[in-house]
Amino acid sequence: MASLIDTNILVYRFDPRDPIKQEIASDVLRSGLAEDSLVLPHQAVVEFVAAVTRPRPDLDDAPLLLEPEALNEAESLMRQFPVVYPNRDVLTTALRGVAAYKLSWFDAHLWAFAEVFGMPQIMSEDFEHGRYYGSVRVNDPFLSASSKAQELPPLYTG
């Protein structure tokens, strides 16, 4: 069963501000590669480059990746995972997703890729976990991240 990957999974892999989400994102991509179970929408690759190269105020305006690193990573992702591209059906379905589900254009477009290309699942934190949009179910792999932080053992006190 192939799952469509959202941009946030690609970005968290390089974001040191949340080590738990960084680890989850790396695990999702690693296992998806091993199982040949993930598909990237072209939109996620484009958004990834934009997201990781923009200045981050909380990182002294440094980007997560410099542009050459981000472009190299984007090419690497496209070699490792199948990439789906928009067509007339995807665009038409995205328009319907905006109207029917009140999704943003970008989320509707992501959902439309999965709906049109027959992928039963989107992996993203940007949708309601477990909800079906048409025939596509959303899985938020980061849902357990907040509970994992609470499960860490207490510091040794002595």
List pLDDT tens digits, range 19-64. 999 999 999 999 999 999 999 999 999 999 999 999 998 888 999 9
Q: Above 80 in pLDDT, residue 85?
A: yes
Threshold 0.95, pTM exceeds? no
Fold (CATH) for 3-141: Rossmann fold (3.40.50)
List pLDDT tens digits, range 116-158. 999 999 999 999 999 999 999 999 999 976 544 444 433 333 4
Q: What is each CA distance from 70 to 46, 50, 66, 154, in whole angstroms? A: 10, 9, 6, 37
Q: Is 23 exposed, middle or buried (0-12, 13-18, 19+ CB in 10 A)?
A: middle
Q: What are phi and psi of 36, to 5 degrees?
A: 50, 50
Please enumerate in sequence order all residues whose Cβ is within 8 A of that of 45, keeping only pairs 6 or more positions apart, or say none: 10, 74, 77, 78, 83
